[in-house]
Amino acid sequence: MCMYDEDDWLMISGIQHFVFCRRQWALIHIEDQWVENILTYEGQEKHKRADDPKFREKRKDVIVERALRVHSPTLGVTGVCDVVEFYKSSTGVGLSKYPGLYVPLVVEYKRGREKKNLSDVLQLALETMCLEEMLGTTITTGDLYYFATNKRISIPIDEELRNTAKKTVQEMHNYWEKKYTPIVKTGKWCNRCSLKDICLPVLEHRQNVRIYMEERLGKE
């Protein structure tokens, strides 16, 4: 089984960038470019409460952990779960700090409402798969909570979703290994991109070179 070196573990949250735009992900995670914009700022503010690493709560049969760090050497990813709830159950796993057995449930908090793309679901699946690997258990569902609609949605972590998550991470690793920033199609979504001021002039320049060359060759 392939085990990635810790230096090559990719940030799970990066899948948000990767699904939105492969190039944006590479600019941020391979080239270390980052520009704050209002969308990323708002997202961080909303996450503040969920990301309090000192927070741990035990209710009767439920333990709630916030900002729980997870990783998977086999997938080569690492990240922080906003919240993990552990429900006492005879079908669960043992936890070092508490007596009894517990079934874990990852809860990922999101600004805005449900997205049409798979980025939130894939992030949730990867966090869940990390937790499974760390605890030696199987977790069948996870939850997404959306601030804008105040909705909490249960997501089945099924075979199809797992395979899509693995395939997407493999694609990220391929770019990472080659340290390659792809050139992609631009569109109206670029207006919402934190990196458009860095990215678009470069792409436009490349396009100009192509057009220039085509014109030159056409004339000769």
- The residues binding ligand SF4 (CB under 6 A) are 21, 23-24, 27, 184, 186, 189-190, 193, 195-196, 199-200
Q: Which is nearer to ligand SF4, 92 or 112 (CB)?
A: 112
The least distance separating ligand SF4 from the CB of residue 65, rounded to whole angstroms, comes to: 34
Residue 188 Cβ vs ligand SF4, minimum distance, rounded to whole Å: 10
Q: Which is nearer to ligand SF4, 88 or 196 (CB)?
A: 196
Which C-beta is closer to ligand SF4: that of 54 or that of 185?
A: 185
Q: Judged by CB, which is closer to ligand SF4: 93, or 190?
A: 190
- The answer to whether residues 182 and 81 touch, using CB atoms and an 8 Å cutoff, is no
Distance in Å, CB of 181 to ligand SF4, minimum? 9
Non-local CB neighbours of 148 within 8 Å, separated by 6+ positions: 111, 112, 113
Q: Pick between residue 19 and residue 169 the one whose CB is nearest to ligand SF4.
A: 19
Q: How far is the CB of 110 from ligand SF4 (least distance, A)?
A: 19
The DSSP code for 116 is S
Residue with token string 């493999």: 170
Q: Cα-Cα-Cα-Cα dihedral of 111, 83, 143, 126, to 10°? A: 90
Q: Least distance (Å) from ligand SF4 to the CB of residue 12?
A: 20
Strands 10-11 vs 77-95: parallel, antiparallel or unpaired: parallel
Distance CA 131, CA 195 (A): 32
- CA 53 – CA 69 distance, rounded (Å): 9
